[in-house]
A and B are shown apart, each in its own frame.
Chain A
Amino acid sequence: MSETLTLRQWLLTDEPTSRRHARLASLYKGWLTLRGNTMAMFGLGILVALVLMALFAPFLAPHDPYVQNLGNRLQPLGSPGHPFGTDSLGRDILSRLIYGSRITLYIVTLVALIAPLAGLLVGTVAGYVGGWVDVVLMRITDIFLAFPRLVLALAFVAALGAGIENAVLAISLTAWPPYARMARAETLTIRASDYISAVRLQGASPVRIITRHIWPLCISSLIVRVTLDMAGIILAAAGLGFLGLGAQPPSPEWGAMISEGRRFILDYWWVATMPGLAIFTVSLAFNLLGDGLRDVLDPKEGSQ
């Protein structure tokens, strides 16, 4: 008991003793603020559950998501052994949803790594180097921004061929420009500040300045933006899946499941409804968490 109390006090100190101490303390304070936000914690809870569900899918799923049973097709909600019913090929919808969480997480994680990193790189280089490099890079960014995102993703997938990896690539290609813009704007402000001049006077190379001094400061706004974008990424992936351009059957991707269920929507509504609810829940969770994170990391934007 006293041990935890001292840890808490150590974390809440006003006078950190080391850099790591200061960083941990500010993380802890951020966490305390976030914990006070019920909706954000609700979102976080859902996401943690989602990750656990994906990890332990084989133990949680009552059935094999791929095994067809035509004699048992289109069973309604709550039928014995199939709480969410079965689809047109007699596969258990609950099990498919559970396994589908793996695909959703896979896509979201990849896009959330590729797009912000690409944007960060382009944006900071453009902002720091300036001159014609800036002009060219930002012009390219503008061109991508000018494209309607889904249509561009469609065209990319059409060119690259359907499939999860290509869907990830297509979504990333349409998602990076806003990050680049943001990183550039931040870089411009940071670059002008006195301590960057001081670092430069000490002889730090541009690469070191960008990676060690500019990137860490861009990260927090980037994280907020990524979290808020996650919902959009999920929806885009589901949209591509729905159009048959993302994950291919028999893969239990949620968007593709809606597409399968669409044909019998009027008679067997649950087949398309359940995966839609799953998508909605997860993107709602990301939105709630993103709102909360924005309040913590970006107080000037938040609480407005």
Chain B
Amino acid sequence: MALSENTRERRVRASLAPWLKGVLVALGSVSITMLGLLLITFIIGRVMPIDPVLAIVGERASQTTYDAVYEQLGLDKPLLVQFLYYLWDVLHGDFGMSLLNARPVSEDIKRVFPATLELATLGTLIGVLLGVPLGVIAAVRRGSWIDQIARVVALVGYSMPIFWLGLMGLLIFYGVLGWVGGPGRLDIFYQDIVPTRTGMILIDSAIAGEWGVFRNAFSHIILPATLLGYYSLAYISRMTRSFMLEQMSAEYITTARVKGMSERQVIWGHAFRNIRVQLITVIALSYANLLEGSVLTEIIFSWPGIGSYITTALLSADMNAVLGGTVVVGLIFICLNLFSDLLYRVFDPRSK
């Protein structure tokens, strides 16, 4: 008995080892990528034409004050040492002070990030729920009118400037029709009613049971989220279509038909089943893209998220804030990539 348990344990470990190795390799490559990302932001920070000391002490400070701050910021040290300081700070979640409002950048980001997350999540949700079925149908009925529509939808999505489409949306659905709330997350009347828990108003108001706030927040978020969702839909439906086409022409699909399966069973039970992992990768990627795509959308809709934050900081030359925001968005990007990579390893039997 003890022996058999022992062998089973050994078997489990043996099957886990290569898997674990893959994960470790992935983690290692991710940390190198993160290091590279921080190096790039560091370099960008150094070549900035703005003098960070002047920005703190002001134009009229004496030379001694200037020198003191220069040393305090570690600017007299060699670049490598400066980079290590920077690394140390960032790893501790310290992106420095915002030059604009003299608050820690990390706190600002914590405050604005949920707004972006809420928007991008809802957008992705819309994109996935509509894009995946559209892509599947377009692949299965290749060349039909629905395939043509899917093609046009994607083509227009790839060709339309998102900020312009947002403006047109505001003009039509807010300005002319009045169906949705305007810019911002809430009307003034509804602000500061619900306590902040997650920072995502839809969730906070639902927790608090404030359905009036929920409805108002929804009327504000639906237009930008649909807009982002449209871009995500364009991408997801195209990818779904090409994945499905690839699978549908595979020989095992013929096998499934030979077995006597209905076309629906063949499509969903075999072909779609085989693209699920690929699809999750695409969705993760499109989610990451939406976090970024929200930069322009947030400006159009005065959405107080990380995109607005970075842009505002940029225009007022608040470099710490810009780099802090860039690092955070970059880290999320990397994490989402890592996540989809790990999914592949776990769920695709061929990768083991």
- Please tell me if the beta carbons of B330 and A151 are within 8 angstroms of each other in the complex: yes
**From B246, B289, B333, contact of A147 by CB (8 A):** B333
CA A242 – CA B165 in complex, angstroms? Answer: 13
- Please tell me if the beta carbons of B299 and A243 are within 8 angstroms of each other in the complex: yes
Is A182 engaged at the interface, CB distance under 8 Å to the other chain? no
Is B337 engaged at the interface, CB distance under 8 Å to the other chain? yes
Contacts of B65 in A (CB 8 A): none
Most B C-beta atoms less than 10 A away, residue of A152, A155, A245, A286: A155
- Please tell me if the beta carbons of B167 and A272 are within 8 angstroms of each other in the complex: yes
Distance from B325 Cβ to chain A, minimum over Cβ atoms (Å): 8
Is A154 engaged at the interface, CB distance under 8 Å to the other chain? yes
**From B163, B175, B289, contact of A239 by CB (8 A):** B163
CA A291 – CA B311 in complex, angstroms? Answer: 34
Is A28 engaged at the interface, CB distance under 8 Å to the other chain? no
Contact residues on A (Cβ < 8 Å of other chain), bracket = 35 or more
- Please tell me if the beta carbons of B326 and A265 are within 8 angstroms of each other in the complex: no
Render B149-187 as a binary contact track against A, CB cut-off 8 A, 1 for contact: 000000110111111110110110001000000000000
- Chain A residue nearest to B313 in the complex (CB): A158
- Chain A residue nearest to B46 in the complex (CB): A159
- Please tell me if the beta carbons of B299 and A158 are within 8 angstroms of each other in the complex: no
- Please tell me if the beta carbons of B296 and A155 are within 8 angstroms of each other in the complex: no
CA A258 – CA B322 in complex, angstroms? Answer: 24
Render A132-159 as a binary contact track against B, CB cut-off 8 A, 1 for contact: 0000000110110011111110111111
CA A139 – CA B168 in complex, angstroms? Answer: 41
Is A276 engaged at the interface, CB distance under 8 Å to the other chain? yes
- Please tell me if the beta carbons of A150 and B314 are within 8 angstroms of each other in the complex: no
**From B33, B44, B299, contact of A146 by CB (8 A):** B33
Distance from B116 Cβ to chain A, minimum over Cβ atoms (Å): 12
A280 and B161 in contact, given A151-B326, A159-B44 (Cβ under 8 angstroms): yes
Is B47 engaged at the interface, CB distance under 8 Å to the other chain? yes
CA A244 – CA B312 in complex, angstroms? Answer: 11
Contacts of B44 in A (CB 8 A): 155-156, 158-159
Is B310 engaged at the interface, CB distance under 8 Å to the other chain? yes
CA A239 – CA B319 in complex, angstroms? Answer: 20
- Chain A residue nearest to B338 in the complex (CB): A146
Render B18-57 as a binary contact track against A, CB cut-off 8 A, 1 for contact: 0000000000010011001100110011011100000000
Contacts of A283 in B (CB 8 A): 158-161
- Chain A residue nearest to B323 in the complex (CB): A155
Contacts of A148 in B (CB 8 A): 288-289, 291-292, 329-330, 333
Distance from A27 Cβ to chain B, minimum over Cβ atoms (Å): 27
CA A255 – CA B299 in complex, angstroms? Answer: 14
Given contacts A148-B289, A266-B175, 7 further A-B contacts (CB under 8 A): A150-B293, A151-B326, A239-B296, A244-B315, A272-B167, A275-B164, A280-B160
Of the A-B pairs whose beta carbons lie under 8 Å apart in the complex, a sample of 13, sorted by A's number, is A146-B33, A149-B292, A150-B293, A158-B317, A158-B322, A231-B159, A238-B161, A239-B163, A242-B296, A243-B299, A255-B161, A262-B167, A291-B155
Question: B residues near A, CB below 8 A?
Answer: 29, 32-33, 36-37, 40-41, 44-45, 47-49, 155-156, 158-165, 167-168, 170-171, 175, 242, 245-246, 288-289, 291-293, 295-296, 299-300, 310-311, 314-315, 317, 319, 322-323, 325-326, 329-330, 333-334, 337
